[in-house]
Structure 1
Amino acid sequence: MSTLTLKGPYWVTVRQYRRTLSLVVGAVLLSLASMVALMYMDSPTAGTDPNFDYTVLRIAMDWASSAMILLPLVVGAFVAGPMVARELESGTYKLALTQSVSPARWLGSKLLTAGAVIVPATVALIGVYRLGWGNVGGTWSFQWHEAGTYEATGPVLVAQVLLALGLGALIGQLVRRTVTAMALTGLVTGLVLLLLGQLRWSLMPVQTLTGPLTEGSVGPDVPVSSWQGGYGLLTASGDRLPSDACWQRTEVWDVCPADMNVVAQYWDHHPASHHWPIQLIETGIVLALAALALFAAFRVLRARHP
């Protein structure tokens, strides 16, 4: 982002955080270069073992998954602390207000500048992650529904960083202490995303597979790529029982007393085809929460600086 094309509070914001913005761009480029290098070094054609399984790349992707989960927390903490709370704590925001800049424009310039960098950077990081995921996706710990992989392979991560942006702006104003605002924003953002993660698999109805309860049977043939939910036993009347209901009576898993009327096993799951519908539904919910947080942030600003 060139400061030559920016004016007023936008120019000031970029000048204030030019090093941070440069670090963001550098981090994205470094991530891309590292991923390409790892893919080359860890490819079967580069190695001597024909059964090479991308071991180094898998380790790097594990780290990348964790980093993508933490990205919204880092964004929220930065916005709440250095961009908002620190200026309110030190009183430097008053200088901007003396330059014919309204409080709303002061805050808006910071959020727009941060968003203009954070959103493209997040999209770029998703692209880098998917580049590596193309070699390990669908294997153990890299299924579409795994924590980290799910967030890093769709638009929900972009919505999450926007939510963190809104929460940071709101909490930074309420707390007005840099370190406290950073810690509290990270905590609140993490709790909100944790709650949404728990509700994620309820956003669409699950599909149910059934199979006979026979000797040696381990349940219906659920696709490996599916998110696996509840499972158990079905009675003739359609009631569901825990998977160990028969064992509790007979101490044999596949032998059920006649009075239980068990006729089959069931398994609830989300197939891989649910990936994008769930992503889009969750993205919409997170964006709505982000808009609500931003609205609250500007309401607080107006109440304190009419």
Structure 2
Amino acid sequence: MNLEERLLHGDKRACARVITIMENNQKKAFEIIRNNYHKTGNAYVIGITGPPGSGKSTLTDRLTRELLNRGKKVGIIAIDPTSPFTGGAILGDRIRMNDLSLNENVFIRSMGTRGSLGGLSKAAQGAIKVLDIYGVDYIFVETVGVGQSEIDIVKAADTVLMVMVPNLGDDIQAIKAGIMEIADIFAINKSDIDGADKTQVEIEMNLDLNQGEDYRPPVLKVSARKNEGIGSLVDEIVGHREYLEETGELKKRRKRNTKMEILNLVEEELMEIIFSKMKKESSFDAIIDNVVSRKLDPYTARDNIIKLI
């Protein structure tokens, strides 16, 4: 069997290979997605975000085990920060979930951000589609954890799970509008330590400000380390999915996400065309030099570059 056939037959190695090819921006992977795109849309995507140190990886591990116990097949995309110096990623999530990766019903892939500022790898959207074709029921996308730029997860997920922890120090920083508004479910992890009740009240009070909303995100206290509250959290995820499906919001959400993805793909392609043209045109350097020397303003430079292209 060729690579595509192996992927369709649930071959884990083939799945890993296709994602690697796609990360390297090779056409073969995109052709496989094109050929099988009609088979996607079955996997439910859960974005897991929150501040660094909130225990997102451990919680993802526990949620995965709970879904396995319920007879589900799970894919995990763990986004790790990429070093700005070497281009390499720490990829610590794979180390933490090593024993889980041996399960035949779990596929784990660590991906570096590779300069993407929104907490997601550029290849993450493609990897989601590959895992969907591969045949998983749920896909967890665990983001880097870099604060408010985490809102990129909204463009990829059906349900966004915000992981918080007690005693973050600056309560106002912890409950910024940008990241509060993207959450569908709040999980206060490490709730066995002091301050969990206070954090829950603060989040609930913040949610009270949005009383006009049809859906109010639940706020749960869990302890991933002690494996407490995990079943209830999965129940809330399933409940949110049912709510989205019954109200038609899931279709609207996926339409919005698809629109954003297509615009991003077009933008990336246009930038590639611009940069390739810039390398060949010496006049680009002259325009840049004129802006640096203040002989030209950036807006006129933009217009001139567009004319050249």
More helix by share: 1
User: Bigger relative contact order, structure 1 or 2, given CA contacts below 8 A and separation 6+?
Assistant: 1
- Normalising by the residue count of structure 2, what TM-score does the alignment of the two structures yield? 0.31
Structure number with greater Rg is 1
The structure in which a higher percent of residues are strand is 2
Q: Please, what TM-score do these two structures have when normalized by structure 1? A: 0.31
